[in-house]
Amino acid sequence: MEFGNIIMLLGGLGFLLYGMKMMSGGLETIAGDSMQAILRKATSNGFLAVLMGIVATIAINSSTATTIMTVSFVNSGMLTLTQSIGVIMGANVGTTFSAQLIAFGVNTLRLDIFSAALIFAGAATYVFARSTRLKNIGFVLLGFGIMFFGVTYMSDAMRPLRGSEAFQEFLISFSNPVLALLAGFVITAIIQSSTATTAILVTLLISGVAIPFQTVAFILLGVNIGTSLTTVISSIPANRESKRAAIFHIMYDIIGSVVFGSLILIFPNILNWFTTTWADNPAQQAAMFHTLYNVSTMLILLPFIKYIAKLMQKIIPIVQEASGIVFEKRLMYLDARTPSSPTVASLNAHMEVCRMGKLANENLALALMSFFNKDEAKAKKVRENEKVIDFLNHKITAKLASINRMALSQQETTSLSKMFVLVSEIERIGDHAANIAGYTTSLINANLEFSEAAIEELSGLSETVKKLTSVALNAYEKQDKSRISKVKISEKKIDKLTSQYIENHIGRLKNEQCTPEAGVIFAAIINDLERCADHAKNIAFSVTLERKWNK
């Protein structure tokens, strides 16, 4: 193979990968909101969950994005482990659509002409259309065209390989099924896209390179395992339920590959059906094997979803989640590996904001505990935690600004805009917790005491505020509008109690039941609790579509 052909091959690969990225990004912008809605509606009905996984993956042309989102939904409690298993099965089937599309195009169309037509149509729509939606559609068409152009370009560059003895000897080394499987796994793990690896393999076959079909089959088995590695990595900072979903994904692919790989070795005639049915189209043989293998694996394991979920719970036992991890001074979901996918990045941002909210809520509870118990050690811990909250405020805001520059859908743009405000609301709750910890220190240093009536009022108000913040944060995390009415009622109750307790406090001061020094702290903590309730209400109201929800 000449140097010029190598450059053409690499250029074609670049067109293929970039075209797929454009296509996936455009589809995600167009269908990302619908896809999230589809995944959230997954039920315990295994068939419906599988169907949703298939539809979501085809809609954005990325099983990796679908499975990462599924793990994110499990982490936030929007999906159960049982539901996620069905969605992941469906994603494995949906990812075979791209290979079918390329193989179909080769069989029925002149790819060079078709790709040129798509590039022209896409570019014209993207440049001249005024509607954002039409521009996104043009972007998708342009991505399709560039992807098919890359296939054509790679195919032309690979044609000399048909007569290359050195390349044929290289392919012979992959006649070993284990090496072929490892090749598929490693390449997919590196480029983090089973669709791209499969497209490269199909392009090799299009160019006329004679690869034994058994080698093709084992490479595709390895591809399936490789694509699950990204899901496992994304689950590392998540909770144990999310890790179970990710472990299922890789075990599902490994078990399927081992079972079908063993069947191929024991009954090699299984592959004859593919080679005879599509004798004139090796690319179609590969695409059909990829699809039927994933469909067969799904159909075999689908009836056992509930039992598989129980097995995952034994592999990763159900234990109390370690709470200390949320106080780490680092981003867990929006780290340096933040995905380029707008939908996945938005979901990760949502989880990071929720994590910050849980930390602030826990810090508020700790501050109140330090206040009522006059515990300086707990007050000190509150102040340390406040530094983590401030760190998250700055870092999350910076990441949100970065995500905001991506090609977001309208819903994602709205959601992200709200996150900017929510981070500030949560940070203010953290500030009020730090204030309360400061009152603890003042009480201890001045040896101040409250009357029993004051303690009873503060205790009751504190419990009401803690419940309100928990409900509000939970409503935002699960995007649950049904909790808003409860938040409204609680917030009005807190406003009423605040006014009443201030009047009672003034009465106790007049009757000398309370010292002025203690009275100042009483009024201050009442104000902090009331402000926490206001911030919690704003957090809950962010779930609505009202434009002035934060006012």
Query: Taking 70 as the threshold, does the pLDDT of residue 114 lie above it?
Result: yes
In the numeric block, which tokens belong to residue 196?
Answer: 């791209």
Note the maximum CA span of the chain: 104
- In the numeric block, the tokens 């994590």 are attached to 355
d(CA 70, CA 86): 10
Query: Residue 76 has what pLDDT?
Result: 64
Average pLDDT over residues 505-534: 88
CA distance readout (Å), 155 to 16, 206, 220, 239, 309: 11, 6, 19, 45, 43
Question: What digits encode the pLDDT tens for the residues 176-223?
Answer: 899 999 998 988 888 777 878 888 888 888 777 778 889 999 999 998
pLDDT classification of 351: cutoffs 50, 70, 90: confident
Query: Residue 365 has what pLDDT?
Result: 95
Q: Are 176 and 184 in contact (CB under 8 A)?
A: no
Q: Which of 337, 333, 355, 357 is nearest to 346 (CA)?
A: 333
Give, in degrees to the nearest 5, the angle at Cα 70 between 68 and 75: 95
In this predicted model, which residue has the larger pLDDT, 438 or 102? 438
In the numeric block, which tokens belong to residue 121?
Answer: 């149509």
Least confident of 30-34, 319-323, 398-402, 486-490: 319-323
Please give the span between the terminal C-alpha atoms of the chain, in angstroms, as a whole number.
67
DSSP string across 88-101: HHHHHHHTTHHHHH
Question: What digits encode the pLDDT tens for the residues 301-314?
Answer: 888 888 888 888 88
pLDDT classification of 435: cutoffs 50, 70, 90: very high
Query: Residue 168 has what pLDDT?
Result: 66
Query: Taking 80 as the threshold, does the pLDDT of residue 261 lie above it?
Result: yes
Query: Taking 60 as the threshold, does the pLDDT of residue 477 lie above it?
Result: yes
Question: What digits encode the pLDDT tens for the residues 123-151?
Answer: 999 899 888 788 888 988 998 888 888 87
b/e code 261-289 from CB counts within 10 Å (16+ = b)? beebeeeeeebeebeeebeebbbbbbbbb
The structural domains of the chain, ordered by start, are 3-315 (no CATH), 326-541 (1.20.58.220)
Most confident of the ranges 1-10, 15-24, 197-206, 281-290: 281-290
- Please tell me the pTM assigned to this model: 0.69
In the numeric block, which tokens belong to residue 477?
Answer: 């995390």
Query: Residue 31 has what pLDDT?
Result: 63
Query: Residue 40 has what pLDDT?
Result: 62
- Average pLDDT of every residue of the chain: 83
Query: Residue 33 has what pLDDT?
Result: 59
Q: In this prediction, what percent of the chain has a pLDDT beyond 90?
A: 32
Query: Residue 338 has what pLDDT?
Result: 47
Average pLDDT over residues 403-421: 86
Average pLDDT over residues 480-491: 89
d(CA 240, CA 257): 26
Query: Residue 44 has what pLDDT?
Result: 57
Give the per-residue SS3 of 464-529.
Answer: HHHHHHHHHHHHHHHCCHHHHHHHHHHHHHHHHHHHHHHHHHHHHHHCCCCCHHHHHHHHHHHHHH
In this predicted model, which residue has the larger pLDDT, 400 or 58? 400
Least confident of 28-37, 209-218, 438-447, 463-472: 28-37
DSSP 550: T
d(CA 56, CA 492): 42
